[in-house]
Each structure stands twice: as C-alpha cells, then as structure tokens.
Amino acid sequence: MSFNLKKRRLKMKWKTNDGGWSPYLAGALLGLLAIASVLATTQFLGKTSYLGASTTFVRAAGILEQTIATDHVISNEYFTKTKVRVDWQFMLVVGIVLGSLISSTMDKSFRIESVPPTWKKRFGPSIGKRAFGAFVGGIIAMIGARLASGCPSGHGLSGMMQLSVSSFVALGMFFSVGVLVAHMVYKRRAS
Amino acid sequence: MNSSQWLGLVTGVLFGFLLQKGRVLRFDKQVGAMLLKDMTIFKFMLSAIMVGMVGILLLANFEVITLSHKPMNVGAVLIGGALFGAGWAIMGFCPGTSLGALGEGRWHAVFAIIGMVVGAALYAELYPFFKATILAWKDFGKIGIPETLGISQWIIIPVFWVGTITLFFLFEKKKL
C-alpha cells in the first residue's frame, strides 16, 4: 500500500495530469537553455544577449509603421534608439511560436480556443469582449514593459538570474498589481 | 537569414517548446497565478532562475560572459511595473507567452499581440514625454544585488535556493 503510494507520487513528479512535463523539470531545462544561450550569443555573436521578448514588439511596430510613414520612424527618437530591424531577439520570438506548435502537436495538446474558461465564466462567450480585453490589456502592458525596460522574460527570467536589483523590484510590481487587478476583474460574480 | 537570426530562431524554438511543455502559456494558468489558485508559472519560472543563476553568475565570475542589468530607474520600474501588472491581468498573457499561446492554438492571443504592437507604437510616440518626466526622476543605474548589499553572490544564491525550495514545499502542500 505505502509502496504503491510512493510509486504514484514519483510518477506524478515528472508528468502532469494534462500530459505536460512537471513545471519544475521544464523550468530547470529552461535554466540550462538560458545558460547555453548566453554562451552561444557571446561566442558566435560577440555580444552577450539574454532571453527577452518585449523589445521585439517595438521593432515590429517600427517595421509596420515604416511601410506607411518611413520618415516618421526615422525621425522618432525611440525607434532610432531601439534600432528597427529583424535581429536575434526578433527571431527568438518567432521561434517561440514554432516551438510551441511543435510541442503541442507532438503531445496532442494543441487546441483551438476562442475564449479561455476563466474569462468565459466572468464575461460570457463573446469573442468581441475577449478581443477588446486582450487588446486594451496589451496596450497597457506593453507601455508598462517599455517603461520598466523588461517583461517577465527579460526581467523575470534573465534579470533575476543575474541578480539585478531592478528585476526583483519589477517582478514584485508585476505580480502584486497583477494579483490586485485580477481579483477586481475576475472575482466579482464568482460562480 | 544571417547567423544571428538563425541562432535566435533555434533558441526560440527550444524556448517555446519548454514553455509549452511546462504548460505555462495558457490564459487560465497566468490568471490562475494572479488569483492565487495555480502556481504553475511560478514553479516553472523559479526553477529556471535557480538553475540559470548558478551558471550565469559563474560564467560572469570568470569573465566568459558579461552581465547586463537593466537600469534601476525608480519611477520607471515602479510605474511601468504596475502598468504591466494591470495589463497582464486583463490580457492574461505576457509578451513572450502570447506568441507561444498562438502556437498551441489559443488564437485569441492575436488580439493581445496586436494590442502590444499598438502599445509599443504609442510608447515610441510618448517617449519624449516619459523621458522628461518619469524617466528623469531617480536612476540608480545598472546595479546588481550583491554589490548593492555588499554581500557575495555565493551567499545570496544559497539563500535564494533555500527560500525558493521552501516556497515549493508550501505550494505542493497547499496543492497550488
């Protein structure tokens, strides 16, 4: 009896109920990837680059704006500073889509989802409402990420690994305000 | 594509693969953490940090790589961090996970991605204003915890490990 219990507990350690890997295992492997990536960028590109995502959104905005207002982008101080081009991090972000597609196809966890369950429970099945929330939330979050100069990848992963003061403060703010707003947004009319 | 873009792509594919396997890309996991109901994303992130910090600080110690702290600009980190937290709660994704969510079929992430591109464009327009106000307040520069506290990183790392493992036990005990 006790042996069986132990065995089951060991099994649950590496695989989750939904067929994924234990977050501890997947996370530890990501830690190894972060180290390998820092070494590889230093070795091959001559500059140490860290995993991050939010700067790419600025470059994407610049690339899109360039097609209709080239001069405006060239004269914009922030676009000039960020350098609008498809660089290492831009392709890293593109790679995330591919990696997730490969993984979810392999273990059959790929799902077409229009409205996530937690959202549906609070705001109903309307795609329009969800689209509006995601859009407005996206604008606010990105302005915040650029002010703080990082997101949960740049600050949360890369910055905390380096023991940066700003990253510990930023993550504390991300999460504490996130908890506050999430409770205001999703907790009312709880089922 | 040049070699830098190829390296980025390969690293990104592995990054996306692990994010998906860790099941951290989903709206319900991210909002679940903020509702203090599901700590999957923290188990994943903190495990990555625990492993990554040992290697990265060791490599930096032997000057194989260089550290790159982000500036501790007080107003920017506090106000920006708060704005990000609010937006994150409503959107249910962060910049990296929005793209991963798209990869596993959660296509409503497209609206979050469009919102973030618009937000980035707005930031570029507002930059002169931020530069004269929030960004101009108090900047402590690119500082790390060890030199700020005057404590060796080889003391801070074990303390971080013990604290994090304690937190993990708490999560498991409370089934979060």
Tell me: the pLDDT tens digits for A166-182?
999 999 999 999 999 99
**B29 and chain A in contact, CB less than 8 A:** no
- Check B8 against A87: CB less than 8 A apart: yes
Tell me: the pLDDT tens digits for A56-95?
999 999 999 999 999 999 999 999 999 999 999 999 999 9
Tell me: the pLDDT tens digits for B51-90?
999 999 999 999 999 999 999 999 999 999 999 999 999 9
3-class DSSP assignment, residue B73: strand
Backbone Cα Rg of chain B = 19
**B155 and chain A in contact, CB less than 8 A:** no
Instruction: Name residues whose C-beta falls within 8 Å of residue A122's C-beta, 6 or more positions apart in sequence.
Output: A185, A186, A188, A189
Give me the total of CB pairs closer than 8 Å, taking one residue from chain A and one from chain B. 527
B162 Cα to chain A: minimum distance (Å): 15
Quote the mean pLDDT of chain A. Answer: 91
What local confidence, expressed as pLDDT, does residue A189 receive? 57
Tell me: the pLDDT tens digits for A87-125?
999 999 999 999 999 999 999 999 999 999 999 999 999
- Check A57 against B95: CB less than 8 A apart: yes
Q: Mean pLDDT, to the nearest integer, of A3-13?
A: 51
**B16 and chain A in contact, CB less than 8 A:** yes
Quote the mean pLDDT of chain B. Answer: 96
- Check A45 against B19: CB less than 8 A apart: no
Model confidence at A12: pLDDT above 60: no
Tell me: the pLDDT tens digits for B153-173?
999 999 999 999 999 999 999
For helices B27-34 and A165-186, angle between their N-to-C axes, nearest 10 degrees: 100
What local confidence, expressed as pLDDT, does residue A188 receive? 67
Taking alpha carbons only, the member of A98, A92, A35, A99 closest to residue B12 is A92
In eight-state DSSP terms, residue A164 is: B
Is the separation of the CB atoms in B116 and B41 below 8 Å?
A: no
Model confidence at A55: pLDDT above 60: yes
- Check A87 against B12: CB less than 8 A apart: no
pTM exceeds 0.90, yes or no: yes
**B176 and chain A in contact, CB less than 8 A:** no
What local confidence, expressed as pLDDT, does residue A3 receive? 47
Query: What DSSP line would sit under A84-112, residue for residue?
Result: -S--HHHHHHHHHHHHHHHHHHHTT----
What local confidence, expressed as pLDDT, does residue A9 receive? 53
Is the separation of the CB atoms in B12 and A94 below 8 Å?
A: yes
Taking alpha carbons only, the member of A155, A114, A107 closest to residue B18 is A107
Is the separation of the CB atoms in A109 and A18 below 8 Å?
A: yes
- Check B56 against A140: CB less than 8 A apart: no
**B86 and chain A in contact, CB less than 8 A:** yes
Q: Which of residues 37-76 of B touch A (CB under 8 A)?
A: 40-41, 43-53, 55-57, 59-60, 64-73, 76
Model confidence at A11: pLDDT above 80: no
What local confidence, expressed as pLDDT, does residue A1 receive? 38
Instruction: Name residues whose C-beta falls within 8 Å of residue A62's C-beta, 6 or more positions apart in sequence.
Output: A73, A76, A79, A82, A84, B124
- Check B125 against A76: CB less than 8 A apart: yes
- Check B117 against A48: CB less than 8 A apart: no
**A41 and chain B in contact, CB less than 8 A:** yes
Q: pLDDT category, A17, cuts 50, 70, 90?
A: confident
A97 Cα to chain B: minimum distance (Å): 4
Q: Which of residues 48-87 of A touch B (CB under 8 A)?
A: 48, 50-51, 53-54, 56-58, 60-62, 64-65, 76-79, 82, 86-87
Taking alpha carbons only, the member of A102, A131, A135, A137 closest to residue A114 is A131
- Check B7 against A111: CB less than 8 A apart: no
- Nearest by CB to A100, which of B19, B85, B156? B19
**A100 and chain B in contact, CB less than 8 A:** yes
